[in-house]
C-alpha cells in the first residue's frame, strides 16, 4: 500500500497531475497524498547492519530541527509560512518516503524507472509540442551586438520548469539511462536508442549553457568509472563530436550563437553570462545580514530585494541561497548532508567490490548515483535548489543503494551456510 502510494506521489509531483486534472488541483491532491503517505509510513524504519540510522537521514533530521528552532528568530516568518515551508516540505519528504516505502530491491528498481520515466516524459512532451505546434515556451534577451531575442524550449505548458531547469531534468537521468538502460541488456539498448534523438534534440533546444556543461561532466563521470578510461574517452569524444555536429547543424543561427557565448564574449548572449557573475557578486554581499541563522526558509527573493537593492529574483546559486535563508549554520548542516551522501555511495561501491557484485544492477545504480552526485555539486553553483527535490530524492536512493548492497551480502552468506540436510529438507517441503 505504502509503495503504491509512493509511486503515485512520484507521478503526481513530477507530472503535475493537479494541473492536468482540475479536480485534483481543487482538492490539493499532492498535499493530501503526502499526508496520507506520511501516516501510512510513520512506523516504517530503515536501519543499517548495526541498527543505526544512515548518516544522510541523521543530518536531514538535524536540518529539520534547526529550521524549526530558528523559525521564531528569522527576519520574515510570514514568508517562511506562506512561501518557503510547503514546497520545501514536499521536496524533503522525498527522502523519508523513499527510505520508508521501498522494502525490496525489486521495488527499488521499479521506483527508479518510474522516476526516470517521468523525467523523460517531461523532456519529450515539450519537444513533441515544438515539432508539431512550434512551441517554445520561453525567450531570452541579449544586448550584445544590438538587441536580440532568442526562443528557448521550456517545460510543457502544464509543467513549471524554465529552459535551464528543463535541461537539468534531462541531464539528471542520463547516467541512469546509460547504466540501467544501455548496460541493462538488449531491451535497454533499444529503449535508449529509440528515445535519444528526440530527447537530446529537446535538450539542445533549451539553449541552457549550464546544462551543456553538466552534460559534459556526466560524460566525463561515465568515462571515469569505466574499466578502460582511455579507450572509452576516445569513443565518447568521437560520439560527442558527431552528435554535436548533427544537432548544431539543425539549430537556428541564434541558438548556435547562444552556445558559442560560452567561449566568445562578443556574441549575443555573452552579456547574460557576465550578468550572472555580477548578480552573484551582489548576492554575496547580502550574506552580511544575519549571517548566522539567516533570514528564513523561502526568503531569498526578499533578501535580494531589500539588501542588494535591484533584484527580486531568487539567488541563482543553491549554496548562497541556503546561506541567505538558513545562515552559515544551516549551510554547514546541508553540506554535511551532501557529503554524507557521497561517503555512503563510496562505502556502497567498496562493499560491491568486496562482495564481487561488480556489474550487477546495484553496482550500476551506485555508479549512476555517483555520476549524478558530482554533476549536481557543480550544477548547484548556478541554480536555486534548496526547495527542489533532487538532493532529497537522490539522498534516499543513495541510502537504499548501500542498504541493498549490505542485504545482498547477507543473503549470499545465508545461502552459503545452508547444509546438505537443510537443502534436502527445503526441497521436500517444497514438493508437499
User: What per-residue confidence (pLDDT) applies to 317?
Assistant: 87
Instruction: Give the per-residue pLDDT at 422.
Output: 41
Q: Is 147 exposed, middle or buried (0-12, 13-18, 19+ CB in 10 A)?
A: exposed
Separation CA 322–CA 147 (nearest Å): 35
Question: What integer is the mean pLDDT of 395-410?
Answer: 87
- Which of 47-51, 64-68, 278-282 is most confident? 64-68
Cell readout for 277 is: 557573475
Q: How confident is the model at residue 221 (pLDDT cuts 50, 70, 90)?
A: very high
Which of 209 and 56 is assigned the larger pLDDT? 56
Q: Give the per-residue pLDDT at 411.
A: 43
- pLDDT recorded at residue 424: 36
Of 16-20, 236-240, 424-428, minimum mean pLDDT range: 424-428
Residue 430 has pLDDT above 60, yes or no: no
Tell me what pLDDT residue 148 has: 64
Average pLDDT, the chain: 85
The average pLDDT across 267-271 equals: 54
Does residue 429 carry a pLDDT above 60?
no
Dihedral angle of Cα 44, 47, 50, 55, to the nearest 10 degrees: -140
- This prediction has a pTM of 0.86
**140, 184, 225, 364 from 188: Cα distances, Å:** 37, 5, 20, 13
pLDDT at 183: 92
Q: Which of 19-33, 45-59, 131-145, 197-211 has the lowest mean pLDDT?
A: 131-145
Residue pLDDT, tens place only, 116-125: 999 999 999 9
- Distance CA(373)–CA(350), nearest Å, equals 17
What local confidence, expressed as pLDDT, does residue 270 receive?
Answer: 54
Give CA–CA dist 308/315, Å, rounded.
Answer: 11
| pLDDT, average across residues 294-308 | 87
Give the whole-number percent of the chain exceeding pLDDT 90.
50
pLDDT, tens digit, for every residue of 78-106?
A: 989 988 888 899 899 999 999 999 999 99
pLDDT, tens digit (0-9, with 9 covering 90-100), for 303-349: 888 887 666 678 888 999 999 999 999 999 999 999 999 999 999 99
Q: Residue 278's pLDDT band (boundaries 50, 70, 90)? A: confident
- Banded pLDDT at 15 (limits 50, 70, 90): very high
| Mean pLDDT, residues 288-297 taken together | 90
| Per-residue model confidence (pLDDT) at position 417 | 40
**Per-residue confidence band for 31, with pLDDT thresholds at 50, 70 and 90:** confident
Q: Are 169 and 180 contacting, i.e. CB atoms less than 8 angstroms apart? A: no
Residue 171's pLDDT band (boundaries 50, 70, 90)? very high
Task: Decide which of 262 and 179 is more confident.
Answer: 179
pLDDT over 50 at 194, yes or no: yes
Following DSSP, what letter does each residue of 120-150 receive, concatenated? HHHHHHHHHHHHHH---EEEEEE-TTS-EEE
Altogether, the residues listed in the chain come to a count of 432
Strands 137-142 and 148-153: antiparallel
Q: Is the pLDDT of residue 432 over 50?
A: no
What distance in Å separates the CA atoms of residue 72 and residue 296, rounded to the nearest whole number? 9
Closest-CA residue to 293 (of 328, 318, 317, 264): 328
Average pLDDT for 215-221: 92
For residue 25, report the phi and psi dihedrals to the nearest 5 degrees: -65, -40
> Which has the closest alpha carbon to 251: 92, 387, 130, 98?
130
What is residue 43's DSSP assignment? T
Kindly state the cell numbers that stand for 321.
541561497
Min mean pLDDT across 77-91, 134-148, 294-308 is at 134-148
pLDDT of residue 190: 95
Amino acid at each position: 500500500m505504502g509503495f503504491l502510494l509512493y509511486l503515485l506521489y512520484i507521478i503526481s509531483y513530477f507530472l503535475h497531475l493537479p494541473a492536468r486534472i482540475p479536480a485534483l488541483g481543487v482538492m490539493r491532491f499532492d498535499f493530501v497524498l503526502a499526508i496520507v503517505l506520511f501516516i501510512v509510513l510513520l512506523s516504517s524504519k530503515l536501519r543499517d547492519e548495526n541498527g543505526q540510522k544512515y548518516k544522510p537521514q541523521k543530518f536531514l533530521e538535524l536540518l529539520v530541527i534547526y529550521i524549526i528552532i530558528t523559525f521564531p528568530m528569522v527576519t520574515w516568518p510570514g514568508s517562511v509560512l506562506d512561501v518557503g515551508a510547503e514546497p520545501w516540505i514536499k521536496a524533503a519528504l522525498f527522502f523519508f518516503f523513499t527510505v520508508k516505502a521501498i522494502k525490496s530491491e525489486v521495488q527499488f528498481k521499479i521506483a527508479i524507472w518510474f522516476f526516470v520515466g517521468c523525467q523523460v516524459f517531461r523532456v519529450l512532451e515539450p519537444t513533441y509540442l515544438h515539432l508539431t505546434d512550434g512551441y517554445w515556451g520561453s525567450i531570452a534577451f541579449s544586448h550584445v551586438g544590438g538587441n536580440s531575442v532568442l526562443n528557448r524550449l521550456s517545460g510543457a505548458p502544464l509543467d513549471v520548469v524554465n529552459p535551464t531547469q528543463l535541461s537539468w531534468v534531462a541531464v539528471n537521468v542520463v547516467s541512469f539511462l546509460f547504466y540501467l538502460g544501455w548496460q541493462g541488456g538488449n531491451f535497454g539498448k533499444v529503449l535508449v536508442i529509440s528515445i535519444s534523438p528526440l530527447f537530446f534534440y529537446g535538450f539542445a533546444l533549451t539553449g541552457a549553457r549550464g546544462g551543456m556543461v553538466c552534460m559534459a561532466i556526466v560524460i566525463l563521470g561515465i568515462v571515469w568509472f569505466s574499466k578502460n578510461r582511455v579507450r572509452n574517452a576516445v569513443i565518447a569524444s568521437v560520439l560527442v563530436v558527431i552528435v554535436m555536429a548533427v544537432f548544431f547543424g539543425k539549430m537556428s543561427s541564434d541558438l548556435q550563437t547562444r552556445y558559442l557565448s560560452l567561449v566568445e564574449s562578443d556574441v549575443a548572449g555573452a552579456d547574460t553570462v557576465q550578468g550572472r557573475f555580477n548578480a552573484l557578486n551582489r548576492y554575496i554581499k547580502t550574506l552580511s545580514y544575519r549571517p548566522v541563522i539567516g533570514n528564513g526558509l523561502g526568503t531569498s527573493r526578499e533578501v535580494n530585494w531589500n539588501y542588494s537593492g535591484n533584484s527580486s529574483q531568487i539567488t541563482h546559486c543553491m549554496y548562497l541561497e541556503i546561506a541567505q535563508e538558513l545562515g552559515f549554520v544551516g549551510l554547514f548542516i546541508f553540506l554535511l548532508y551532501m557529503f554524507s551522501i557521497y561517503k555512503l555511495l563510496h562505502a556502497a561501491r567498496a562493499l560491491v567490490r568486496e562482495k564481487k557484485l561488480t556489474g550487477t544492477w546495484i553496482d550500476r545504480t551506485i555508479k549512476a548515483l555517483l555520476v549524478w552526485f558530482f554533476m549536481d555539486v557543480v550544477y548547484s553553483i548556478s541554480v536555486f535548489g534548496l526547495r527542489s527535490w533532487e538532493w532529497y530524492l537522490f539522498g534516499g536512493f543513495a541510502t537504499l543503494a548501500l542498504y541493498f548492497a549490505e542485504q545482498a551480502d547477507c543473503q549470499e552468506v545465508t545461502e552459503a551456510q545452508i547444509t546438505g540436510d537443510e537443502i534436502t529438507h527445503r526441497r521436500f517441503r517444497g514438493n508437499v
